[in-house]
Amino acid sequence: MSDTRPKLLIVEDDPGLQRQLRWAYEDYQLFIAGDRQEAIEMLRAETPDVVTLDLGLPPDPDGTTEGFATLAEMLKIKPDTKIIVASGHGARESALDAIAGGAYDFYQKPVDIDELGLIVRRAFHVHALERENARLAETAPEDGRVLGRMITGAPEMMKVARTIERVASANVSILLLGASGTGKELLAQGLHDASPRRNGAFVAINCAAIPETLLESELFGHEKGAFTGAIKMTPGKIEQAQGGTLFLDEVGDIPLPLQVKLLRFLQERVIERIGGRQPIAVDTRIVCATHQDLAAMIAAGSFREDLYYRLAEITVRIPPLRDRPGDPALLARHFLTRFARDMNPQVKGLAPDALAALDAWAWPGNVRELENRMKRAVIMADGKLITAADLDLDDERADGGDVVNLKAAREMADRRAIRRAIARTDGNISGAAKILGISRPTLYDLLKQYQMQN
């Protein structure tokens, strides 16, 4: 049976320390090299994801020349390798220079096995995150597109897409439930395109964006002279969707008097324009969406129960972006390509710290927020890669959830700040501690206290 444990390469010339580290890392496939040549050979042969590298290697054990040469050569061969450098000479400046040269993190000798173990685990975690994001980008169907325009690789959204495809051919009303910015209109359009009505019109109206006094006219149309300003006959959105699909976004905002008229249409499939007396038969499919709790609105008397059951013959719940693993990175790449073409052609991709930040953020504004952040990042980026700083993902917005007491509030704030700092520095503990204004040991203590080691 093949060994599936993660591969860890230790580049260390001290035999005693080699034995100590070999004993400490039984959970990994361990490879040990004593000099640059051995290290490069093992890197090529075994392709480990994480490397610990002593900067003081022979033939320059008292300096750092050989260590820096090894670091540079390794990153040239396998740029995604997470290399953790060590210096036994108290040369913090050398370690920081190594990080500037592409190293993932550093530790100082004498070695604290627990501390180094935590750095190694986080390195593997960040590497796995980057690999999964890359896999999703490569394997998602048609560059991540489902239902024609919806971009996703997350199992939760793939399940939603399969449901939409399954019900598309049935002549039933669909209610899409999801927070603002989750892609409800895209799903409605995808449902229309997959249905037998695809050759008809797809007509969308946001019921929350139109004043109550105008909404009836927008939906049902009006005859010439029906009211002041009605200078000609105008068909409404329902009539325009003849033979196609009518998408009522934010249906929970329809006022009660208009709900009665909409219910009558759903029952009889006939409308009358405002000011008209001629019944008009309309064959259209209704797809509705809302972010509101319609059950609570029914209980409060602000939404009709009979209308609800007419609209919600099938209900589809859309998960928020924070519950769709891999989608933030997949969508970010899509928006980057779209915006960079016209706004900043030098931008070519996402830096590792940006990928980590995308994964860590709670996305309260969902896909719409991600789109806006990517547009800003593309415009503001100075280099070829968008960073976490370009995305501005370092503020103190809460991830959600109610705060019960001060202790819970402090813990939530600590967790949020730590997660943001680590994401901002691509998992670099030293850099994260500097951002947080605390020492590395204090940050390690907090990671252990809050069980955030992995």
Q: Hey, which bits of 26-173 come out as E strands? A: 29-33, 50-54, 82-87, 105-108, 145-146, 150-151
- SS3 for 291? coil
| Distance from chain centroid for Cα 212 | 36
What Rg do the C-alpha atoms of the chain give, in angstroms? 29
- For the ranges 40-44, 140-144, 184-188, which has the lowest average pLDDT? 140-144
The yes or no reply on domain 7-111 and CATH 3.20.20.240 is: no
Amino acid at residue number 427 = G
CATH 3.40.50.2300 domain locations along the chain: 7-111
pLDDT in tens, 183-210: 999 999 999 999 999 999 999 999 999 9
Dig out the tokens for 372 from the structure. Answer: 């806006």
pLDDT in tens, 407-432: 656 666 777 678 767 766 666 788 78
Nearest-10 Cα torsion for 32, 34, 35, 41: -30
Tell whether the model's pLDDT for residue 118 goes beyond 70.
Answer: yes
Confidence of residue 397 (pLDDT cuts 50, 70, 90): very low
Q: What is the pLDDT of residue 409?
A: 60
Element at 45 (helix H, strand E): helix 36-46
pLDDT in tens, 326-340: 889 889 988 998 899
Q: What is the pLDDT of residue 329?
A: 86
Rounded to the nearest integer, the mean pLDDT of the chain is 85
Element at 93 (helix H, strand E): helix 92-100
CATH 1.10.8.60 domain locations along the chain: 322-449
- CATH class name, domain 322-449: mainly alpha
pLDDT in tens, 57-113: 888 887 888 989 999 999 889 888 999 998 765 566 787 778 877 888 888 788 888
Q: What is the pLDDT of residue 253?
A: 94
pTM beyond 0.75, yes or no: no
- Greatest mean pLDDT among 124-128, 294-298, 357-361 lies in 294-298
Q: What is the pLDDT of residue 121?
A: 87
Tell whether the model's pLDDT for residue 369 goes beyond 60.
Answer: yes
CATH superfamily of 155-318: P-loop containing nucleotide triphosphate hydrolases (3.40.50.300)
pLDDT in tens, 123-137: 888 788 777 655 554
Nearest to 171 by CA among 48, 295, 287: 287
CATH 3.40.50.300 domain locations along the chain: 155-318
Tell whether the model's pLDDT for residue 168 goes beyond 60.
Answer: yes
